[in-house]
A and B are shown apart, each in its own frame.
Chain A
């Protein structure tokens, strides 16, 4: 029986940081896109969970919460052939050219 990277319950950990922090605009947008994909029945929460759980473990630990959401959305959308990774990369490159690197 193996514990996977998302299933942390009961592992030793330090104190939980309970200070409130404001969400960035991109995080709110990531949430909105996620909601829209759900409303349009393009993806289910269970699929998003599966995508996060199947992510490379080092990548999973390196990404922030909403970065994981975005990576999962890309996995599901490319799986369903709604976008290709190349199309997403091209769009990201175009945005970076227009607005500079994040």
Chain B
């Protein structure tokens, strides 16, 4: 595995983009900022596997943490609740 682009604790933002076809990044976290909670490793790219391709090159998959307040806006003030989502490297940028 190549060394991952982000390390645990680093701040990241999910790309606020769209592209046609199968994507694994939920709508509600796009454009939201969080942190790398864990690096899972490299996996075949599901966005290519979805079309019968080999899924190479592999993409690094991260567990990304978000404050619920960041995700939903209207979340109760003072809440410490967190949300964790699996997100592939190409959907993340430094924040």
Contacts and interface: CB of A to CB of B under 8 A. Distances in A.
A47 B28 contact: no
Interface of B: 16-18, 21-22, 26-28, 30-31, 46-47, 49-52, 71-72
How many of chain A's residues touch chain B, expressed as a range?
10 to 19
Contact of A47 (B30, B52, B72): B52
Contact of B22 (A3, A49, A80): A49
Contacts of A44: 49-50, 52
A49 B18 contact: no
Interface of A: 1-4, 7, 9-10, 44, 46-47, 49-50, 53, 79-80
B50 A1 contact: no
7 contacts: A9-B27, A10-B72, A46-B22, A46-B47, A47-B51, A53-B22, A79-B52
Given A1-B18, A2-B18, A10-B72, A49 B30 contact: no
A1 B30 contact: yes
Contacts of B18: 1-2
Given A46-B22, A50-B21, A3 B27 contact: yes
Nearest to B21: A50
Contacts of B50: 44, 46-47, 49-50
A21 B29 CA distance: 32
A46 B17 contact: no
Contacts of B72: 10
Contacts of B17: 1
